[in-house]
Structure 1
């Protein structure tokens, strides 16, 4: 029996291959460390955290029918994600993300999300064919979108009646893809989750802090924004007002996935009825716990 999701996560679901070292690294460094292979991708990272907060996310993505894809689907299902609606391609390989992290943070990363991009709007079919919704009865709930989708698909989503009743929560996959979110900047129900660098790219400038960045994004037409600035601050706001908080101070042991954890914890907190300040606090604590190497709850 197919379960009914309370949130839909649309975007990248892939294998994360992460090399981590306790050494300070630069270009050309060759140091000892650990290499892990785990389910990842923005949509997957968000869904994993949502599961820890008791939610039932459905994944809309593209996963190949290769061995890597079969293993990935199995892992996602084991963790409690609803995978019934995933687009499975016969000829596209399962995507992969590779990163290197040192004591000084993320050194380099490559996201190979070509299969997701090639699948395009095929991943959205369940929202149109009556399975999860249709133009006449669009899905009425939170939808997490990630910037690994193509700019064309994000533009289509921005204008599509399939999302007319959705609470859109949007995050760039990386600073390199931040400008893709311009298509959703003025959407009346979209909440943008960005870091300070991504906010600067969207506004074509730089900001000294998250508060200034949030105000600038609102001035550019954003309905609602959350801007993080590492361990310095985080700001959430609309045209009415902006609130800013300072994250807990922790020892950082990992970076990849921290923003996705923050976003998912914030969504779950609001779905569960927390007010704005409490939801932001809970999300910051979840992200801080994550980067410290523990499991956020």
Structure 2
């Protein structure tokens, strides 16, 4: 397969591309709160959030996902084009409606969220056809670029990917879609093929223990088989662990105005920094700075 310099700058983002419906209030909320705020409907999903962030960092994101052939899907495809996310290889089905995600955020963080990614799960391995049967790669000539993979895929499909020859030469970066889906990443601990991007809670779920610091969590994930693990912990220090040890850095202090998409921005910024040639410590710092700018609201949604 042709791996020209231009193609090597393209990143495949595999997972959810859907509509985010996010309600945000500027005051603290609790269960049952009924307060004024703003409601937005914007393109989202873990794979989409990562892809949009990669585009802001000068890379060429392409999404492997499932998008319905319905009015919502056509509108989403057009939005992806406007935002610089290539959906040429997206799986389209008239039988599967376009997925969506709903979240409520207050000044005290995420209050509740519901992810409806049933169409992505139903599409299953069909979204991977371009990597298995061409034009992006095959088992005999695997894709050699960078792949961002999100945990909205089913556990069975993630298990397949962890050992699939079509992914053997890729720089595979994986993130759970939410703490509730963190355990879907267990195959990547067993097979040691991927870099994991998780928060402290997700790391605890994967290791079945409670961690006080990101450093402890990153070390434990590597000990359990992860090739590499980056663990965030909100405004507290973040850690990057691999076979050479664990490094830690603290995020800048900012006023938090939004939460949804922060982890995806961190992951995309870190990937972009390393692709540009930054050393491990510098890449971690750059990613934390980018995430801080995002949660402060200085970048557009």
Please say if 1:57 is aligned against 2:61. Answer: yes
Structure 1 residues not aligned, in runs of 5+: none
Moved more, 129-138 or 259-268: 129-138
Partner of 1:109: 113
Does the 8 Å contact 1:166/1:189 carry over to 2? Answer: no
After superposition, the C-alpha distances for 1:85-128 in whole angstroms (9 at most, x for unaligned) are: 00011111000000000011000000000000000000000011
Please say if 1:268 is aligned against 2:264. Answer: no
Aligned equivalents of 1:61 and 1:279: distance in 2?
28
Aligned equivalents of 1:177 and 1:188: distance in 2?
19
Partner of 1:218: 222
Note the C-alpha offset of 1:186.
3.4
Aligned equivalents of 1:78 and 1:131: distance in 2?
24
Aligned equivalents of 1:244 and 1:72: distance in 2?
38
Paired residue total: 294
Aligned equivalents of 1:199 and 1:94: distance in 2?
30
Moved over 6 A (4+): none
Structural mapping, 1:1-297, within 5 Å = 4=7, 6-295=10-299
Structure 2 residues not aligned, in runs of 5+: 1-5
Aligned equivalents of 1:199 and 1:128: distance in 2?
30
Does the 8 Å contact 1:192/1:225 carry over to 2? Answer: yes
Two-structure CA RMSD over aligned residues (Å) = 1.1
TM-score under structure 2 length normalisation: 0.96
Does the 8 Å contact 2:99/2:118 carry over to 1? Answer: yes
Aligned equivalents of 1:130 and 1:65: distance in 2?
23
